[in-house]
Amino acid sequence: MDYQEKKVEDKKQTVQRPFLRARDTPPFGIALLYGFQQVMVCVSALLTVPIIMADSLCPGDKIAFLRQTLISSTFVSSGISTIIQTLFGMRLALLQGTAFAYVPSVQGFMSLPENFCNATEHDSVPQEIYFGKLALLQGCLIASSFIPMFIGCTGLVGMLTKFIGPLTVSPLMLLLAFSQVDLMVTHISKHWVAIVQAVTLFATILYLAEVKIPIPGIKNGRFHWYKVNLFGQYPYLIAICTSWIFCIILTVFNLTPEGSAARVDKNISLRVIDESAWLGVPYPGKFGAPQFNLGLFLLFTLSAMTSVFESVGDYHAAARVSEERPPPSHAINRGILAEGLGSLISGLLGPGVGMTTHTENIGVIGVTRVASRWTMVMAGLFLIVLGLITKIGALLSTIPDPLVGGVLASSMAMVVGVAIANLQTVDMSLSRNMGVFGFSMMFGLIVPKYFNKFPVENAWSWLNQILNVLLQMPMFVGALCGCILDNTIGGATREQRGLRPRGEIYAGGIDECTYSFPPWAMNILNRIPGVQYIPCMPKEKKGTNRVGGEEIRL
């Protein structure tokens, strides 16, 4: 009996917390708490792109004002896109935020001679100049957003993924990260306070990730100490806040000279906080009528396709972490359609770059065991509120430049990690695969350097602009080289190339309700003639495989 009782006790000790599935509805307070946590995880990533965008637009002494404006509109766009994706798109808990794949396109376009600007934060730049650039970005983003929407509506994403594999995507992501090294060094080199941020980040990720901090609370009506893994869940946020507070201390005690990049009391920053309204609503046309440029449109189309391929992998990762079956084709099509809508909203409201799924928020689901879509709806509402309270955007815009470089470096570190992880499905022992990857990386590094020194010059100025931007972009050259080589060189099966076998049907955890709309909505849709033929609409499809004597439903 003693042995049996001990055995029962051991079983009780290994029982895990209950897992909240995507379709589960937690209590309002719990949903609110977990939604706020998801927002805290993504805040640092959401700050990176609008800050870099403000620098690329070269607003001179209005840099803090433009940062505040773009941060606020980014939060609102991200919140709306998250709600659309979670309720009407994939219907999994997926947070939508700015896609970094658009940043090199913007930087490449703005570096052209006709767009180049070298104004510092002490120079005055007319508002119509940088607002005009932003209106151009918005117009091209609006036009390019119809590409993923078309792909999602027609189901072309399945056809494209047959040719675009890890040997194309991984060089693209690595070259994207490497292209930002100069920008990181420019910001980080302005002050040694960036070292504080780096040390804090490494300490939280490598040494303190498993340390649990006791936090007081109430349990069953009594005072209780909860042990929370703060360092493991919020390493980037902790690093930013720690180094930011350090900069405040340096400023308050005057430990760094006037004009130092580490000071937070710059006149332009304080003026923006003081002059900004408490509430502000981003709206279409705020920066003028959207403009169009063919070269920038092509660059944004490339960036949109990059986000599409990244997102397909994120969808499968989210399904796996959420303990759901792999997403059916209609759900993936609808997810890409929702991302296109998010990019359209972003183009209308102001950030100037498209929306994509944030991978780091998928990891939070595995840690918290909460995959309920309603927690992500709460996160979307939180983001909208934060964006409407413009004082918050103004406060966040005061982050010193050295810390901006640190935030960018930490974000790119995640991109590099994901790019290398994508290669784990590729048989890299094959010389064929090693050659494709190696040549793609070298071409992506060498060709842009060459065309930087010797740009294309011919009689057609519009063609010069398009070719120079494309050929000077490492991620375009590397991805194009990888795609061509991977699909024209024989000697490897689809599995050895890291591609999923065609026609494969997955078993386990089949529950169509997760990816379909609620029954009342499905009843309405099923009464509309022809809806069942739309690739992004939920449907039942009989599979040819049988598992355990039962037919698999897709």
Q: Residue 61 has what pLDDT? A: 80
Q: Residue 360 has what pLDDT? A: 67
Q: Do the Cβ atoms of 272 and 65 come closer than 8 Å?
A: yes
Tokens of 491: 């000697």
Q: Residue 419 has what pLDDT? A: 79
Q: Residue 3 has what pLDDT? A: 45
Q: Residue 384 has what pLDDT? A: 93
Closest residue by Cα to residue 92 from 321, 256, 368: 321
Q: What is the residue whose two structure tokens read 């007319």?
A: 126
Give whole-number Cα distances, 282 to 63, 88, 348, 351, in Å.
18, 23, 9, 10
- pLDDT tens per residue, the chain (554 residues)? 444 544 444 444 444 557 788 888 888 877 887 787 778 667 767 877 888 888 888 888 888 788 888 888 999 999 999 999 999 999 998 999 888 778 878 887 887 777 777 777 777 888 888 888 899 999 999 999 999 999 998 888 877 767 777 888 788 878 877 877 887 888 788 888 888 888 887 788 778 877 888 877 777 777 778 777 777 666 766 777 888 888 888 888 888 888 787 887 765 556 666 667 788 888 888 888 899 888 888 888 888 887 887 787 678 777 877 888 778 888 889 999 999 999 999 999 978 899 988 876 776 676 667 788 998 999 999 999 988 988 877 676 667 778 777 767 776 776 787 778 778 888 988 999 999 999 999 999 999 889 888 888 877 776 777 777 778 778 788 888 998 999 999 888 888 888 765 444 443 333 456 888 888 888 888 888 888 788 888 865 544 444 444 443 44
Enclosing H/E stretch for 215:
strand 213-219
Closest residue by Cα to residue 346 from 305, 378, 387: 387
- CA 332, 338, 341, 342: dihedral to nearest 10 degrees? -110
Q: Residue 120 has what pLDDT? A: 74
Max Cα distance, the chain (Å): 93
Closest residue by Cα to residue 183 from 433, 515, 502, 406: 406
Report the predicted TM-score, pTM, of the whole model to 2 decimal places.
Answer: 0.73
Integer Cα distance of 360 and 264 in angstroms: 29
DSSP 425: G
Q: Residue 397 has what pLDDT? A: 64
Where exactly are the structural domains of the chain? 22-116+124-186+265-425, 429-499
Tokens of 9: 């006790």
Integer Cα distance of 479 and 486 in angstroms: 10
Integer Cα distance of 489 and 224 in angstroms: 63
Q: Residue 209 has what pLDDT? A: 72
Tally Cβ neighbours within 10 Å of residue 287.
25
Integer Cα distance of 34 and 41 in angstroms: 11
Task: Output the DSSP codes for 122-147.
Answer: TSB--HHHHHHHHHHHHHHHHHHHHH
Q: Provide the CA 294 distance to its chain's centre, in angstroms.
A: 25
Tokens of 533: 């033929």
Please name the residues in contact with 389: beta carbons below 8 A apart, sequence gap of 6 or more: 278, 279
Q: What are phi and psi of 20, to 5 degrees?
A: -90, 110
Q: Do the Cβ atoms of 333 and 315 come closer than 8 Å?
A: no
